[in-house]
Amino acid sequence: MAAGDREELASLAADLRGHLEWLRDTGVREVPALPKAPQAAASAAPVSSSPEASESAGPQVSLRAAVRATVGAPEQRAATTSSPAKPVAPPAPLPPPAAANVIVNRPAPAARAEPRPVAPLPAPSGARLEGAAPKTLEQIRAELGACTRCKLSSKRKNIVFGVGSPKAELVFVGEGPGADEDEQGIPFVGAAGQLLTKMIEAMGYTRDEVYICNVVKCRPPGNRNPEPDEIQACEPFLKQQLASLKPRVIVTLGKFAAQTLLRDETSITRLRGNWREYCGIRLMPTFHPAYLLRSPSEKKKVWEDLQQVMKVFGKEPARR
């Protein structure tokens, strides 16, 4: 086998392992059957709690096809757990690393799951994202400039503005950058970010298809909580990002994002899992992935919250 093939296979196997780990941790014991992939043992393997699960798939050519059939090709992960695998296309190039003042955005892929009708929400409680034409993400980023509006600016390495599709139907809002994010200028790239990526992929999306940002755009030193004056200084930019994106659903990660957007000091334990509304947009509060790293048994609850979101988009949750 050529070295390139070996690398690709290793990368696919790593993706599959991560995906299965997320499903296993959330209590999923079975994934939906997928159509036969060429030359593959095509029935999707049941999710095993064994760490060896993704390594016991027989001959290499079958493993490659089985991996692809299960998690999709890199740019086709929208099929993951919810819809049949599509024909395999060459992998999309990785996005370039973000510099301080660069918005890491890639155009949304054309194909999306057909949304299913969902029950209407009660009348919006707050202002809607209508009226004056919203700015583009580029304009908002330009306005933010080399921000010194709060004290976080003095210690930060990079402003972490946001990443993903400007046409995202789903937006994740976290708290604030950590050390890795500060270093790279990209949100959710550290350990919590890797877990968030697994969550996004288990929902049937890629990171490129959604949008990811934070309440505060600069790292609070030592990963302390963002302070009220810092949130106040940064929130207008988050609001403008959301007005620009106009997603169908916002998922807030952790207490700061939920409490800030909802103006509600209820604990995240009580907020999570219950649909709320932000300016006419459905908002689902859930736990922060960093909390899940410390309390893995809570992943099940988060998966339940994310499955509620998947229903809005007509994405089938994995069978239990």
Which residue ranges make up the site for ligand URA (CB under 6 A)?
Answer: 174-178, 181, 187-188, 190, 192-193, 214, 290
Is there a contact between 71 and 80 (Cβ–Cβ < 8 Å)? yes
The least CB distance from residue 289 to ligand URA, in Å, is: 7
190/204 with CB nearer ligand URA: 190
Min separation Cβ 214 and ligand URA, Å:
5
224 vs 320, which CB is nearer to ligand URA?
224
Minimum Å gap between C-beta 291 and ligand URA is 10
**How many whole angstroms separate alpha carbon 288 and alpha carbon 296?**
11
Residue nearest to ligand URA (CB): 174
Please report how close the Cβ of residue 52 comes to ligand URA at its closest, in angstroms: 31
Nearer to ligand URA, 74 or 177 (CB): 177
Q: Which is nearer to ligand URA, 256 or 313 (CB)?
A: 256
CB-nearer residue toward ligand URA: 177 or 204: 177
- Closer residue to ligand URA (CB): 192 or 281: 192
Shortest distance in whole angstroms from residue 190 CB to ligand URA: 6
Least separation in angstroms between residue 311's CB and ligand URA is 25
Cα–Cα distance for residue pair 41/62, rounded to 1 Å: 6
Identify the burial level of 135 via C-beta atoms within 10 angstroms of its C-beta, where 0-12 means exposed, 13-18 middle and 19 or more buried. Answer: middle
From CA 79, how far away is CA 103, in angstroms rounded? 27
